[in-house]
A and B are shown apart, each in its own frame.
Chain A
């Protein structure tokens, strides 16, 4: 356990597939794959050294979009994706299969591969497991993904079983086709819908399933997978989901949520929902729906924000919260490019904080760490890089630390923690009973 560290990360290609549109890959555990590299890169509307400030570690590149523009051949010719976008830290690419199935209605999956209509000329094209690996070999990310047979999680019956076995057969073909095994790490995909008998659906959780079946699937996968390999839960976006998955033993996540929601003027905050354009919500920073997993959202489009001279999140130490008021960001959001830039910055910073707090929650709870000891043993450099933890918590007494960590992550001031969260935490062996009762916490 000593090699655990709080590493969070970033973002991805957006739906149009630009290099800097992105979805966050967050990892509460340092792994060999995500270790080391120094900083530089890009996210939607953010420049390299801003990512450095935020503490981003790994960027997830979208194979399908990159293959369309600028093409994997060009990236190869430019010396690989790291060099092309000037990002010396970790990169990850997906197989491209998911986008084909989700973006292109006419995709047809056979034993050979995924047949889809070319978005360029409408001709049928075939993506085989071998081709997916070839493309990813050319792009040159540190982590690449095997092509999987994607099925909707809402589907039941023999198709699920077929997908699971086909995904396994394709994985063998991917391993055989992999040309750069010493430079690029191939991740297998655990697929199989939500049927608990077949389970292992870390790759198929794209929404639609209930929260309760979602966490059970993740728990089953992580329990069955080898301890020493990182587990990446694809397509998990909300802060609470990430906390729960981390507690269950997952290591990496990706999501477009922080930057996408920023574009619509919504900020992630610990204590509620803030949409800065709406009038009726005024100064109400409570969650719209306390049981909603999208906890901690500030809608900066809200009209009442026009006179709100507080920062987005008074407990946040990010560049945006140190300098800007809700009122100013309210007048920028959804109108000016700078609005989404500043909100994206805060939202990503917030996601990083969530990952770090998740790590602390796990450390202090699962390993029965004395919270004070927990602080001193966490690599100080890491914490300083994420400054926020020091800034926010160094002044608080260590006694209330754990409680606060739990509260910050699972912000349910009335103690109404959703049942699925309680159940998941129980399975994870994390005691959150202290936050399941109403509590007023006074900070010094």
Chain B
């Protein structure tokens, strides 16, 4: 793995280039990691993945815990690791202990031996040795060390324990770890500025290729987040990449970018897709989107539309007229509305394609703003425009 920062904007926001052996070309950051279930996107079939913009779409996040049941580390090893098992030879795969959807940290059951997670296969206690066995068999391009993540409301003492454990497990993971694969040291510390800084300092001292910032999206207040984020990124060496999990909404991504985070996971796309929503916000951050939402679409706020709404029953336009994604090039809102009505999985396939495509476009717009040195302006315009739309929608539906 090779990472280079190319441009800075408004202090902390930065644009960079990430090079991974398996990717077809350098991936520009800030970048989106596509969420997966057992290594493949939730619905987008592997042969449709190449229809997404390349190389932007070539970073996937994989949760090793998804393989806790159904397939053994031995079998994964004999297949040749994740890339072979998934048939994704020219993709960059980043392993993080939790996803932000189904496998979440359960800090009350975590103990000195290992971290506890709530997963679809029940509650699992994962020790560093278990975790590293998974990582060694998966052979991802990037892997984050095991952490004791706690929600924002825990007492100071628990927070301190979480940092101590995470740093100790980091050392254990590296000691047990494979030669290949870039190690991202996990940084935790909940909502305590001091603990965050202590953890960042400890991890920055270790021999790691990058940093995984954990403990966000776990109940903290959106207003207190920037200060916490900044306290971490200010300590971290500038030349190494930072990956964060749990920030999904566009506004949250913008918060992360503003603090100097380079890589993000994408729970938002999954949530929208499962609820029948399609992203329609303008990608230039300003102006009214051409894809005006229809009156009667109660879920719409002009940044997304609810394709279940009956107003789309006879709507023969694509989700967004100018969108180049497979879905918009081939299917109408009316058809997707029908597929949703009859509970047909193709609806989710088409929506996940469009939403992923659109969100990758959002990240491209962010990069362009950073490179042009006007990230803060872009961010404010975007947030204001979306807030106006959300407010207007709230009034319209009142």
Contact = CB atoms under 8 A, between A and B. Distances in A.
Contact of A338 (B38, B70, B71): B38
Interface string A66-90: 0001100010011100001110000
Contacts of B46: 319, 323
Nearest to A276: B70
Contact of A306 (B45, B71, B334): B71
A341 interface: yes
Interface string B300-341: 000000000000011010000000001000111011001101
A130 B330 CA distance: 34
B247 to A, nearest CB: 25
A325 interface: yes
Interface in A56-110: 65, 69-70, 74, 77-79, 84-86
B45 A342 contact: yes
A53 interface: yes
Say which size band chain B's interface belongs to: 35 or more
A251 to B, nearest CB: 28
Interface in A335-361: 335-338, 340-342, 345
Contacts of A331: 38, 67, 69-71
Nearest to B315: A78
B75 A19 contact: no
Contacts of A338: 37-38, 40-43, 45
Contacts of A179: none
Contacts of A21: 342, 344
Interface of B: 37-38, 40-43, 45-48, 67, 69-72, 74-76, 78-79, 85-87, 120, 313-314, 316, 326, 330-332, 334-335, 338-339, 341-346, 348-350
Interface in A7-25: 16-21
Interface in A301-330: 306-307, 309, 319, 322-325, 327-328, 330
A48 B67 CA distance: 30
A19 B350 contact: no
Contact of A19 (B67, B313, B338): B338
A336 B342 contact: no
A47 B314 contact: no
Smallest CB-CB A-B distances: 7 pairs: A323-B87, A331-B70, A18-B342, A18-B344, A331-B71, A45-B345, A327-B75
Contacts of A47: 45, 48, 326, 346, 349-350
A78 B343 CA distance: 20
A117 interface: no
Say which size band chain A's interface belongs to: 35 or more
Nearest to B316: A78
Nearest to A42: B346
17 contacts: A19-B338, A21-B342, A42-B346, A45-B345, A47-B350, A50-B45, A50-B48, A70-B313, A74-B334, A79-B316, A86-B331, A306-B70, A323-B46, A324-B87, A327-B75, A328-B38, A335-B120
Contact of A325 (B42, B74, B79, B314): B79
A250 interface: no
Given A44-B344, A47-B350, A330 B74 contact: no
Contact of B37 (A50, A327, A336): A336
Given A16-B342, A49-B326, 16 more contacts: A20-B344, A45-B345, A47-B346, A48-B330, A50-B48, A84-B338, A306-B70, A309-B75, A327-B71, A327-B75, A327-B76, A327-B79, A328-B38, A337-B43, A337-B348, A338-B37
Nearest to B70: A331
A20 B334 contact: no
Given A327-B75, A338-B42, A18 B343 contact: yes
A330 B85 CA distance: 12
B344 to A, nearest CB: 4
Contacts of B37: 336-338
B42 A84 contact: no
B342 A307 contact: no
A21 B344 CA distance: 7
